Amino acid sequence: MINKAAVVGAGLMGSGIARHMASHSIQVTLVDNNEEQLARAARVNENSDLQYTSDMTAINGVDYVIEAVFEDLDVKRQVLSQISSAVSPECLIASNTSSLLIGDLEKAVTNPNRFIGVHYNNPADMNPVVEVIPSDHTETHYTDAILKWMKSAEKLAVKCKDTPCFILNRQSLPYINEASRCLNIASPGEVDSVVKNRLGIGLGPFAVMNLVGLPVMAASSCNLEVLGRGYRAAPELQERSRLNSPDWDIEEVGDVSKDKTSAIVKRLRGAMIFPGKDILAQALCSRDDLHLICKEALGYDKSSPELLEMFEPAVITELLEVYLSHQ
């Protein structure tokens, strides 16, 4: 079992992970080489029982450590190498990557049999779903230990295959990117309004991007492009993410025109169905686990499996054609 843990990376995600573990009686040290980042995290987490340090050697006594640094292969490998040098050979090491292959990251870890992907979804301490991704080298008892602990810590853990963006982001990013491409016909406020009022999703895609952070979503979207057509990154999101203050301006809107609403609904329905159909066809996870991710982690009113079961084949074909025509 996990008793003492460390989270490396004190940003939004790392802080959320640390709060989640601390709220379930784990001694947690939050590590970051940026003192300002640590200070911000301490202010945000003032009511949580956490320790803070910029010294990686301070984590040598933990039995579990998870890195939550920026979604960049080289950056993560460098941090994982430092973690490997700081902890004991038996310490379980995890990455919170949302899109990079665990098999690519494990090359930086000494004794990769104790390395695993553990992907929390934002906000980490609130969102119930966590993806657990063993590599080909991860020993089964480590995977079982994480799955068992997540259950005890009130998380819905889904075991996933090591594929680009796993399941959650593979399902969600085409929808997020298509929402960005919808800027050719609508504003952020109009798209979010249609999503909430017609698709029944509580938080619109532009609000989600602002919550998670556009640079993070843009980087993950680029990593997904390796899968080809249907998984292309939207130029609108990539360009916006490079601004100093990239958050979308989401204006309040009244009624959205019938034609515009219909176009947005068709494009986003297609963007939800396309990855779901692909995930199930490749058996990357079970139908029920995909349904769980869509409903509990992404907040969809209808999961992609439900949409595939609900619509006639001709309707599914039309929605996919509409979606792919904008790739």
pLDDT digits (tens, 9 = 90+) for 153-199: 999 999 999 999 999 999 999 999 999 999 999 999 999 999 999 99
- Span 108-132, mean pLDDT? 95
C-beta separation of 116 from 140 below 8 A: no
Among residues 247, 186, 171, 181, which one has the least CA distance to residue 216?
Answer: 247
C-beta separation of 146 from 46 below 8 A: no
Containing 220, the helix (H) or strand (E) segment is helix 214-224
Asked: is 168-324 a CATH 1.10.1040.50 domain? The reply is yes
CB count within 10 Å of CB 107 equals 11
At residue 202 the predicted structure's pLDDT band, cuts being 50, 70 and 90, is very high
Distance between CA 279 and CA 301 in Å, rounded?
Answer: 19
Contacts of 293 (CB under 8 A, 6+ apart): 129, 131, 158, 167, 168, 171, 285, 303
Q: What pLDDT, in 10s, does the model give residues 19-50? A: 999 999 999 999 999 999 999 999 999 878 99
The pLDDT assigned to 290 comes to 96
Distance between CA 123 and CA 120 in Å, rounded?
Answer: 8
Half-sphere exposure of 144 (CA within 13 A, CB side): 3
Query: In sequence order, what E strands does the chain have?
Result: 4-8, 27-31, 50-53, 64-67, 92-95, 115-120, 129-134, 156-159
At residue 122 the predicted structure's pLDDT band, cuts being 50, 70 and 90, is confident
Average pLDDT of the chain to the nearest whole number? 96
At residue 201 the predicted structure's pLDDT band, cuts being 50, 70 and 90, is very high
pLDDT at 240 > cutoff 80: yes
Among residues 115, 241, 268, 243, which one has the least CA distance to residue 185?
Answer: 268
Residue ranges, comma separated, of all CATH 3.40.50.720 domains in the chain are 4-159
The pLDDT assigned to 1 comes to 74
Residue ranges, comma separated, of all CATH 1.10.1040.50 domains in the chain are 168-324
pLDDT at 135 > cutoff 80: yes
The domain made up of 4-159 has a fold known as Rossmann fold (3.40.50)
DSSP-derived pairing of the beta strands 115-120 and 129-134: antiparallel
